[in-house]
Amino acid sequence: MITSKIIANGILRAVIVLVSVALFLYFLYQIQSVLIYLIIALILTLIGNPILDFFKRRLKFNHTFATITTLLLFILIIAGFVMMFIPLILSQGQNLSLLNTAEIEKSIIQLINQISIFLESHQIDSSRILKEADITSKINFNLIPNFLNVIFGTISSFGMGLASVLFITFFFLKDRLLFILGAKKIIPDSHEDQILNSLEKINHLLSRYFIGLLIQLFIVFLSYIIVLLIFGIPNSIVIAFLCAVLNIIPYIGPLIASILAAILTMISNLGSDFQSEILPTTLYVLLGFWIVQIIDNNVSQPIIFSKSVSSHPLEIFLVILMAGFLFGILGMIVAVPLYTILKVIGKEFFPENKIIQLLTKNI
């Protein structure tokens, strides 16, 4: 028989659980910077593991010296990136007036006026079209400045926390065997082999994935710069950088990058004749970007998203699509690593399941 005391105890337990969850989430929110440092350090560790193994196996370095060398390599790459690209991107970003909302609004309105003149010269009633579309009221002129500021803010924050990230990465690389031994003591003996095998496979697959992703972004970045330089677009480095960063978002990112490149190309050429210079140049840039994206989609991405994580391209496409519908852009970004982790766990713990056998036959 259910008494009032039992109901009261149940309500009390539920309240305690909810309060505990709320406090835990609030705690995570308060230490979000630390969590970001841990995530970045974990990604660097996954990228650094193959390099560390190379130093140990091929160059016969001891473990500590191989760890220090790997970390020094990261520092040199980061320092080189900062010294070579960040000043150029910052200066070109200022020249492009991307950090000034008023300037970009003025430029876009001027561009719309030029498009109106072009349409009217071809007997198209642009004033009616623009009035019905009400474009200027729908455009968020803060979008591009905010996007740039987020990127620069992230770089700045990463610079402030760089020492912390590298410190954490050093111990992740150096003491990974200690972490494994510690995990052995915590996890149940009945599942020890399965969990350790899962961790080893996840580490191997994600290491390949993140290294491949960095190479892909760098290739796309260089390809975009070449396209923009061929057609003499001012501020080519910052435009290529922004568009390459968007490539982190699978499938949708390149489409957004093309639209952004078209807008920034037209803004960069304001003052020129729209029909004879701005429009043809923008179309040429779009064509060049589409060629880069076709090559990337058919060469780079299948290698990274398929071979690096041992999954079929259609399988990866469907996973990214579902993650996008459920969790938006963030879901699309983390879909492949998370799906890879779930596949490895499924193979280790449910090897007899026919669906899992089909999905994990290449792992």
Domain boundaries, the chain: 7-84+149-174, 188-363
**Are the beta carbons of 118 and 279 closer than 8 angstroms?**
yes
Q: What is the mean pLDDT of the chain?
A: 78
What are residue 256's phi and psi, to 5 degrees?
A: -65, -40
Strand partners, 270: 272
User: pLDDT value at position 130?
Assistant: 55
Would you tell me how many other CB atoms lie within 10 Å of the CB of residue 277? 12
Nearest by Cα to 40 from 121, 192, 155 = 155
Instruction: Return the percentage of the chain with pLDDT > 90, whole number.
Output: 7
**Are the beta carbons of 266 and 282 closer than 8 angstroms?**
yes
User: pLDDT value at position 131?
Assistant: 53
Mean per-residue pLDDT, 72-86: 77
Helices 176-186/192-230 angle, 10° precision: 140
Nearest by Cα to 153 from 28, 41, 331, 33 = 33
User: pLDDT value at position 122?
Assistant: 65
Task: Give the span between the Cα atoms of 39 and 339, in whole angstroms.
Answer: 17
User: pLDDT value at position 157?
Assistant: 57
pLDDT at residue 93 tops 90: no
63: amino acid identity, one letter: H
For residue range 286-323, what is the model confidence (pLDDT) as tens digits?
999 999 988 887 777 777 777 777 777 778 888 888 88
User: pLDDT value at position 23?
Assistant: 92
User: pLDDT value at position 101?
Assistant: 52
Residue 3 buriedness (CB in 10 A; 0-12 / 13-18 / 19+) = exposed
Mean per-residue pLDDT, 42-71: 88
pLDDT at residue 81 tops 80: no
Mean per-residue pLDDT, 118-147: 58
Mean per-residue pLDDT, 61-90: 79
User: pLDDT value at position 69?
Assistant: 92
CA atoms within 13 A on the CB side of 297: 15
User: pLDDT value at position 252?
Assistant: 83
Nearest by Cα to 66 from 86, 42, 50, 43 = 50
pLDDT at residue 173 tops 60: yes
Mean per-residue pLDDT, 149-169: 69
Task: Give the span between the Cα atoms of 242 and 63, in whole angstroms.
Answer: 38
363 or 131, which is more confident: 363
Mean per-residue pLDDT, 24-48: 84
Nearest by Cα to 170 from 69, 243, 308 = 69
For residue range 225-271, what is the model confidence (pLDDT) as tens digits?
999 999 888 778 878 888 888 888 887 888 888 888 888 888 777 76
| SS3 at position 60 | coil
User: pLDDT value at position 289?
Assistant: 92
Task: Give the span between the Cα atoms of 346 and 360, in whole angstroms.
Answer: 8
pLDDT at residue 356 tops 50: yes
pLDDT at residue 154 tops 70: no
Confidence of residue 99 (pLDDT cuts 50, 70, 90): very low
